[in-house]
Amino acid sequence: MYIPKTTRRQLDTPTKNRIIGFWKATGNAAAAARSENVRPRTAQRIIQVYQKTGSTSNKPRPGRPSKLTDRDKREIVRAVRKNRRAPLTDITNQISANVSVSTVQRALAAQGYHRRVARRVPWITKAQRKLRFIWGKVYKRMRMRDWWNVIYSDETYIWVGSKAGRIFVTRRKDERLLDECLVPTFKQSNLRVMVWGCIVGGRKGPLVVLEGALLDFYNQIKLRKRRIRFQQDGASCHRSKATLKWLVDHRIATLFHPPNSPDLTPIEPVWLELKRILRNRRRTPTSIEELKSAVREAWDQIPIEFINKHIKRMPDRVKAVLKARGGHTQF
C-alpha cells in the first residue's frame, strides 16, 4: 500500500533513472511510482521532464539569496586591501552592510582572499631595491659553472626558545609577495650565538669563524684549479676598509652582493635547514657550549646534495629578482 510522504525531498538521479526504466518497461507511470514509493504525480513529472530534455539530472538551485550586493562585496575587498592586517571583525564593522563576520569571510573566500600568516622578509629600502635590480642585470648571463665556483658565505644567529609571533594578513594566494602582505625583519642584537659558514659547489666549508679558517678553505679549493670568487652579503661590516683590505691582501676575488638580500644566495636555505635540524633535536641545548656543539653536529648532517641543489638554482634567483624589479622574490 502506498504511504504518502510528509516531507518534501529531492529525488536523486539513480532513483529517477529506475522510475524511467520501470515506465519504459511497463508503460505504466503509476506502477513506476509504486516501485520507488513516490507519489504518482511525482513520477509523472519526472517522466514529462525526461521526455522534454532526455535527462534525469537535477538542475542547480539558486540557493539562498546573498545578503551582500555586488557593491557590498567590492567595499569589503577595498577595506581588506587598504589594511591587510585588520581582523575580519574590524572589516565587518567598517562596511555599510549589516552582516556577520562569517558572511564577510565567505564573501572574501569566494574571491580568493583568506587569512594567512604574513611572510617575514628583510626590510628593503628603495636604494637596496635598485641595487638588487642592478645585481640581476649584472649576473643574468652568468654561466652555471661560474655560479658553481663561487664560495657563498654568510653568518646567522642561533638562539634557543625565541620565536617571533605570527602576524596574519588577508590576501589571495598570488599576493603573498606584495609589500603590504609581508612582515619586514631587522638585524638581531648581539645577544645571540652567531655562527659563520660557507659553501661552494660540491663542498661545505668551515662553520665557525676561526683564525685562518676561510683562507685555508679557499686555498684547498684553488688547489683543484677552480677559478674561485668569494661572495658575502652586503652587511656594513663586510664593506669596512679592514675587511676589504684583508680580501685584497690575500688575493681573494669577490662577487658583488646587495645588502638585505638573503633570497639571492643559496646559503640562506642551508641556514634554514640547519635551524630545522636544531629544532628537531630530542634534547634542547641548555648552555652556550651545548648550543655550539649542537650547531656543529647539525652542520655536519646537511648533505652536499642539498647544497648543490640550491646552488643550481642561482639562475632562477636572477630571473626572479629581475621580474620583481628588485623587489622580494619567492626564494
Residue range 174-201: mean pLDDT, rounded: 73
Measured CA to CA in angstroms, residue 175 lies from 109, 111, 317 at distances of 14, 13, 19
Q: 223 lies in a domain?
A: yes
Q: How far apart are alpha carbons 239 and 229 in whole angstroms?
A: 16
Q: 81 lies in a domain?
A: yes
Sign of the Cα torsion 125, 128, 130, 133 reads negative
Closest CA to 328 of 119, 146, 162, 163: 119
Closest CA to 201 of 180, 229, 177, 178: 229
Residues 202 and 245 in one domain: yes
Joined together, the cell numbers standing for residue 171 give 590576501
Q: 173 lies in a domain?
A: no
Least confident range from 238-242, 261-265, 305-309, 313-317: namely 238-242
112: number of Cβ within 10 Å = 12
- The pairing of strands 150-158 and 193-200 is antiparallel
Q: How far apart are alpha carbons 304 and 205 in whole angstroms?
A: 11
How many structural domains are present in the chain? Answer: 3
Residues 303 and 269 in one domain: yes
Which amino acid is it at 92? Answer: T
Place of cell 538551485: 61
pLDDT at position 264 over 80: yes
Residues 239 and 136 in one domain: yes
In the chain, where do the E strands start and end?
114-117, 119-122, 150-158, 168-171, 182-185, 193-200, 203-204, 229-231, 254-255
Residues 196 and 262 in one domain: yes
Question: So what's the pLDDT on residue 270?
Answer: 92
Are 200 and 221 spatial neighbours (Cβ–Cβ below 8 Å)? yes
The most confident of the ranges 83-97, 165-179, 191-205 is: 83-97
* CATH code of 96's domain: 1.10.10
Residues 74 and 59 in one domain: no
Q: 27 lies in a domain?
A: yes
> What phi and psi, each to the nearest 5 degrees, are found at residue 119?
-75, 135
313 — pLDDT class (breaks 50, 70, 90):
very high
Of 43, 63, 83, the residue that ends a domain is 63
Residue range 71-100: mean pLDDT, rounded: 89
Are 268 and 153 spatial neighbours (Cβ–Cβ below 8 Å)? no
Residues 77 and 53 in one domain: no
Helix (H) or strand (E) holding 41: helix 40-53
Q: 118 lies in a domain?
A: no
pLDDT at position 5 over 60: no
* CATH code of 280's domain: 3.30.420.10
Residues 152 and 99 in one domain: no
For residue 133, give the 3-state DSSP assignment.
helix
Residues 209 and 80 in one domain: no
Residues 81 and 226 in one domain: no
Q: 219 lies in a domain?
A: yes
Position with higher pLDDT, 221 vs 154: 154
Q: How far apart are alpha carbons 310 and 299 in whole angstroms?
A: 16
Residues 76 and 199 in one domain: no
Q: 119 lies in a domain?
A: no
Q: 209 lies in a domain?
A: yes
Dump pLDDT digits (tens) for 110-145.
989 988 888 888 888 899 999 999 989 988 888 988
Dump pLDDT digits (tens) for 197-223.
888 888 888 786 343 444 455 456 555
Residues 232 and 130 in one domain: yes
DSSP one-letter code for 95 = S
155 — pLDDT class (breaks 50, 70, 90):
confident
Domain residues for the domain of 12 are 1-63
Residues 156 and 286 in one domain: yes
Measured CA to CA in angstroms, residue 323 lies from 120, 329, 331 at distances of 20, 9, 13
